[in-house]
Amino acid sequence: AVSVTITVERRDPSVPATCRVLAQAVDFQPVGEQQVPIAASADPLVEVNLVLTTLRRATAVVVKGCTVS
C-alpha cells in the first residue's frame, strides 16, 4: 500500500467529482488503482489523502483523470 495526497481544482466546486488514481511500478506497469470521490465543497481547491492498496511496490502515483458526477 502507498499513502498519497492528491490536489484537485474544479471550476465549479459545488459539483462532486470522481478521480481515477493509478499506482505504477518501476517498469510503469499498473499495480493499484482507485476511484476517489471528491465531495462538493465551497473551495475550488481540495486536497484528499488516501491509502492506495498495491499488488507490489509502487514507485509512482498518477491521477489519470477526473469526471464530474
Closest CA relative to residue 65, chosen from 31, 36, 41: 36
- pTM score above 0.85: yes
Answer for the pair 63, 19: CB distance below 8 angstroms, yes or no.
yes
The pLDDT-based confidence of 15 (bands split at 50, 70, 90) is very high
Residue 69 has pLDDT above 90, yes or no: no
Q: Average of pLDDT values for 24-39?
A: 97
Residue 64 CA to residue 43 CA, distance in Å, equals 22
Residue 68 CA to residue 66 CA, distance in Å, equals 7
The pLDDT-based confidence of 53 (bands split at 50, 70, 90) is very high
Q: Which helix (H) or strand (E) holds 18?
A: strand 17-24
